[in-house]
């Protein structure tokens, strides 16, 4: 693939700093195209921990860079901009979670990885959108509290016999995607398979043929014999889907499915991050260790 001059400059800086570039599936295409690794936030961090690179540049949002810092304490984790927040992660704080825990003694807290390190540190175990049901079913208690995504909790509740209490948080990008938009897209593309992310509302998930995480959608589309897909998640994933499957067609069902925080980092920001070695993501060690325990408990849950 031909690189433009700025992409070339990023690659040169990466070599000079012995760094690797991680890009989330929702990042702009020009960043995904030059990344060493692309994927979901946890998968990227797990892979990054296994590399010999001294520096990790994380193109995603802040909680994702924090996850890399939790899993890779011996590496310098850089976030090219500090103003890359997340609506969902901001719906909960460690203090608010402590208050709720006090009201629910004996109820384990299952925290979606889309959360800040301090919140993970207050949790019994983490989960992803791909393994939430498995994680909840692995716990011995009959009741769990899932935070912060209400829609992921409601989806999980449908697939477990346990009582699932939830936090009133959501990803506004997925939550604003309506049933009417999904119906309209299905009517426009009657042959297409509708893939939806569990962060979507239940009435949208009811219309989906396939409910998957972003990584799950990539696997599904790759393996499917179908040629058309409606992609019910942030539209950045379509870049990776289309690149992997040039002969298949992918449709975005709603203009809402665009996360401004995920599109904020530019190639100039990445060059500055590498030149200045900024912005270093550091987690206080006590918080990191507690958060790591919650992540490791999740990773220890056996696969089906």
Which residues would be at the binding site for ligand SF4 (CB under 6 A)? 26, 61, 86-88, 114, 171, 173, 234, 259, 261-262
Q: Are 21 and 33 in contact (CB under 8 A)?
A: no
- Closer CB to ligand SF4, 86 or 274, in the complex: 86
- Closer CB to ligand SF4, 107 or 114, in the complex: 114
DSSP per-residue codes, 63-82 = HHHHHHHHH-TTSEEE-S-S
101 vs 68: CA distance, rounded Å: 26
- Closer CB to ligand SF4, 87 or 155, in the complex: 87
* Two structure tokens written together for 9: 């400059």
Quote the least distance from Cβ 213 to ligand SF4, whole Å: 12
Quote the least distance from Cβ 250 to ligand SF4, whole Å: 17
Quote the least distance from Cβ 258 to ligand SF4, whole Å: 9
Nearest to 250 by CA among 236, 224, 229, 267: 229
- Closer CB to ligand SF4, 61 or 139, in the complex: 61
The interaxial angle of helices 5-16 and 267-276, nearest 10 deg, is 20
Quote the least distance from Cβ 285 to ligand SF4, whole Å: 26
Q: Are 102 and 136 in contact (CB under 8 A)?
A: no
Quote the least distance from Cβ 249 to ligand SF4, whole Å: 23
How far, in whole angstroms, is CA 209 from its chain's centroid?
Answer: 21
Quote the least distance from Cβ 171 to ligand SF4, whole Å: 3
Whole-Å CA distances, 52 to 30, 75, 140: 25, 9, 38
Q: CA 87, 91, 97: angle at the middle one, nearest 5?
A: 150
Residue 125: φ, ψ to 5°: -160, 150
């Amino acid at each position: 693939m031909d690189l433009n001059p700025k992409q070339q400059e990023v690659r040169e800086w990466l070599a000079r700093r012995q760094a690797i570039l991680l890009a989330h599936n929702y990042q702009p295409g020009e960043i995904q195209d030059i990344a060493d690794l692309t994927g979901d936030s946890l998968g990227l961090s797990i892979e990054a921990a296994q590399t010999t690179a001294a520096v990790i540049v994380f193109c995603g949002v802040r909680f994702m860079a924090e996850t890399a810092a939790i899993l890779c304490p011996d590496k310098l984790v850089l976030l090219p901009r500090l103003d890359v927040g997340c609506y969902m992660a901001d719906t909960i704080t460690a203090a608010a979670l402590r208050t709720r825990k006090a009201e629910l003694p004996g109820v384990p807290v299952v925290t979606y990885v889309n959360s800040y390190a301090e919140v993970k540190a207050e949790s019994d175990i983490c989960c992803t959108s791909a393994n939430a049901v498995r994680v909840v079913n692995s716990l011995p208690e009959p009741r769990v509290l899932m935070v912060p995504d209400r829609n992921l909790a409601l989806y999980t509740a449908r697939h477990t016999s346990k009582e699932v209490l939830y936090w009133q948080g959501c990803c506004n990008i997925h939550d604003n995607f309506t049933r009417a938009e999904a119906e309209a897209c299905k009517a426009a593309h009657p042959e297409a398979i509708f893939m939806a992310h569990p962060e979507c509302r239940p009435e949208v998930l009811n219309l989906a043929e396939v409910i998957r995480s972003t990584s799950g959608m990539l696997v599904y589309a790759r393996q499917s014999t179908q040629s058309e897909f409606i992609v019910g998640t942030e539209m950045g994933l379509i870049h990776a889907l289309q690149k992997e499957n040039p002969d298949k067609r992918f449709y975005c069902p709603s203009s809402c499915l665009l996360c401004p925080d995920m599109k904020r980092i530019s190639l100039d920001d990445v060059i500055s991050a590498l030149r200045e070695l900024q912005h270093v993501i550091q987690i206080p060690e006590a918080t990191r260790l507690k958060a790591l325990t919650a992540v490791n408990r999740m990773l220890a849950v056996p696969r089906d």
